[in-house]
A and B are shown apart, each in its own frame.
Chain A
């Protein structure tokens, strides 16, 4: 369905603009190139974070010190968290797939503010550099965990300032991306594409954009307050000066809980695209999917206290947060039902992205249910700060956002690169990854219930067996990851050329060539139908 004008327009990869070589990348304001800049940086930091995780698991294969001491372990889990949260999963899907696909999916040439887009990436790079500096400058690497809890975060000898400032700068990058996407969707939808004809992935990016915009500044100012504590002894969170450390936790989680919705909403959008296309069926309950995305973003703003149930909050706060936490699960459940209903009586095409989506449904549900358990006050008292929590968030964040990221990677790979990946290797990688993932994280539920604390480099011998299984899972996971990434790289050279629409998708990105030309469309499309128009 792509319109050709007789002259073959070069793809965005072959396009020759003002700059050549590396400058044509790092000075480009083309949303597609910026997406790839983000992809390259995010994958680099994902591999760094994953390697840290691998080494942490190796330390935990036996009680006592295995390959590192306690101080090093503390530094490792701190960096692992900072990198994974701020440099990988929060930017993740929006920065890579949002940047690449959003304009195309709404029929636009680019985002609303292309130069601001490039600036967001520069901020990302500065942010991660600051975080890395914290490791190598100063007396000691940061050891507070990615949560920077006060008062330890301003009393520790760890090199907190660059890490905190790095997180601040990364937050700014996130804010500007959200701002850009919101304005893009308000102003640049193609003629005929009303809000309710917009596909789910853009809708989830829209909801995410508001969360990025409205939640991130709160952690920004909180981090600045910690800097003021450390440098000026201002007293906001210092109990010796009248401050309340719990107030730090309130402010920190007021952002960091909505942050998990920044992580999961675009993932849910991508899964909606994949499931609809590979079921050759209209997405079930489109309006409910839109409404639930907005509901998750909104209600998610008010549940932050469930990270603080054992901190000493009042009873009233405890009940309020627990109730709201249960409520926010409802729109997520609606989505799961609608995904399954989409598949029901569809014409399923068993492609790699579909396998990722199916795996996502499983791990997301496990993660979600374990979240409800943690949201129950009585259970939380026992499970807080144990490995149960670690299992919960890895299932829902790594399982949720991570699986969706890899699903999206394979789904849109033909569009982005113009090549098809090797399906056999992709599926082998996926199987290894999935088996490794379940092996790595499932024991942690049990270990947590039995009482194994998190963020400790040592543990009681009674937890040994579970830890051995878990660590072996990390090896399987890591090798699956290796195969997946190597396959995607190798297919760049060796993959067969991809058509515009390899999957039979109905959204606008499948109407342009693979890879797309610089300005995406030869002529601005006029939209008459809704997305996912499969004639059932």
Chain B
């Protein structure tokens, strides 16, 4: 499988590039954590009370789903390294499924709030007070941006799955697969912090 093009391939460069891109994602969300810190400091009680309105059960469930999906994508990489194509694809499918369930949970969670007229810009929310406006503004923006990254991650994993199926990614050439894993883990990392900051500050 070693075509001349492989000589010019630099997996370490590809991996480094992916990590550098992850740094930009960390700082993108970092800006939102700055906003969260400031408004949490200014409105401690309102944030504390608003957090009670979120379902700890769904939050915990989503956290665990994402953690499992992180493990399954890591296992898919072990599988491809061990030349087990079927297992790798199975693990990637499970990862995608878990991502999908996460999004479905989010959809229902958001739906419940929106039914109560709690969403950015709503008059009802404005009436509840500035602390609530900021809490829910941050909640929708941060979990929304996070969900967008889940979707992007799932697309990335989808592409990698197709390439594995076509043997373009294999035990001798899997940096793209690893990179998709890194991206997915980052999405998991962000949620690891979002979860306590929105659901557990009661």
Do A and B come into direct contact in the complex, CB within 8 Å?
A: yes
Complex CA–CA separation, A463 to B57 (angstroms): 67
**Interface check B111, CB cutoff 8 A:** no
Q: Which of B5-24 contact A (CB under 8 A)?
A: 10, 12-13, 16-17, 20-21, 23-24
The answer to whether A175 and B130 touch (CB under 8 A), given A247-B38, A250-B34, is: no
For B39, list chain A residues within 8 Å (CB).
236, 242
Q: How many residues on the B side are at the interface (Cβ–Cβ under 8 A)?
A: 34
For B29, list chain A residues within 8 Å (CB).
221
Question: How far does the Cβ of A179 sit from chain B's closest Cβ, in whole Å?
Answer: 5
Interface string of B122-141 (1 = CB under 8 A from A): 00001001110110011011
Q: Which residue of A lies closest to B131 (CB)?
A: A242
Q: A242 and B13: CB pair below 8 A? A: no
Complex CA–CA separation, A532 to B83 (angstroms): 51
Interface string of A178-217 (1 = CB under 8 A from B): 0110110011100000000000000000000000011111
Q: A175 and B43: CB pair below 8 A? A: no
**Interface check B97, CB cutoff 8 A:** no
| Number of A-B residue pairs having CB atoms within 8 Å of each other in the complex | 97
**Interface check B30, CB cutoff 8 A:** yes
Mostly, the B contact residues are helix
Q: Which of A13-34 contact B (CB under 8 A)?
A: none
One of B12, B16, B17, B31 near A221 (C-beta < 8 A):
B31
The answer to whether A241 and B130 touch (CB under 8 A), given A179-B17, A216-B24, is: yes
Mostly, the A contact residues are helix
One of B21, B30, B42, B141 near A228 (C-beta < 8 A):
B141
Complex CA–CA separation, A112 to B133 (angstroms): 45
**Interface check B35, CB cutoff 8 A:** yes
For A186, list chain B residues within 8 Å (CB).
13, 16
Interface string of B115-155 (1 = CB under 8 A from A): 00000110000100111011001101100000000000000
Q: A214 and B27: CB pair below 8 A? A: yes
The answer to whether A236 and B35 touch (CB under 8 A), given A183-B20, A187-B16, is: yes
Q: B10 and A112: CB pair below 8 A? A: yes
Question: How far does the Cβ of B136 sit from chain A's closest Cβ, in whole Å?
Answer: 9
Complex CA–CA separation, A243 to B38 (angstroms): 10
Complex CA–CA separation, A251 to B27 (angstroms): 12
For A234, list chain B residues within 8 Å (CB).
120-121, 137, 140-141
Q: B141 and A220: CB pair below 8 A? A: no
Interface string of A226-240 (1 = CB under 8 A from B): 001000111110000
One of B21, B121, B129 near A179 (C-beta < 8 A):
B21
One of B24, B31, B121 near A233 (C-beta < 8 A):
B121
One of B20, B21, B35, B131 near A225 (C-beta < 8 A):
B35
**Interface check A222, CB cutoff 8 A:** yes
For A217, list chain B residues within 8 Å (CB).
24-25, 27-28, 30-31
**Interface check B101, CB cutoff 8 A:** no
Complex CA–CA separation, A250 to B43 (angstroms): 19
Q: B12 and A187: CB pair below 8 A? A: yes
Q: Which residue of B lies closest to A116 (CB)?
A: B17
Q: A183 and B16: CB pair below 8 A? A: yes
Q: A218 and B120: CB pair below 8 A? A: no
Q: Which residue of A lies closest to B144 (CB)?
A: A228
For A116, list chain B residues within 8 Å (CB).
17
The answer to whether A241 and B17 touch (CB under 8 A), given A234-B120, A235-B120, is: no
Question: How far does the Cβ of A6 sit from chain B's closest Cβ, in whole Å?
Answer: 24
**Interface check B32, CB cutoff 8 A:** yes
Complex CA–CA separation, A130 to B34 (angstroms): 28
Complex CA–CA separation, A67 to B42 (angstroms): 48
Q: A183 and B38: CB pair below 8 A? A: no
Question: How far does the Cβ of B178 sit from chain A's closest Cβ, in whole Å?
Answer: 16
Q: B137 and A235: CB pair below 8 A? A: yes
Question: How far does the Cβ of A10 sit from chain B's closest Cβ, in whole Å?
Answer: 22
Complex CA–CA separation, A187 to B13 (angstroms): 6
**Interface check A113, CB cutoff 8 A:** yes
Chain B CB count within 10 A is highest, among A182, A214, A232, A235, for A235
Interface residues of B (CB under 8 A from A): 10, 12-13, 16-17, 20-21, 23-25, 27-32, 34-35, 38-39, 42-43, 120-121, 126, 129-131, 133-134, 137-138, 140-141
5 cross-chain CB contacts under 8 A:
A112-B17, A116-B17, A214-B27, A234-B121, A235-B137
The list of the 5 closest CB pairs from A to B, nearest first, reads: A242-B130, A233-B121, A221-B31, A217-B27, A217-B28
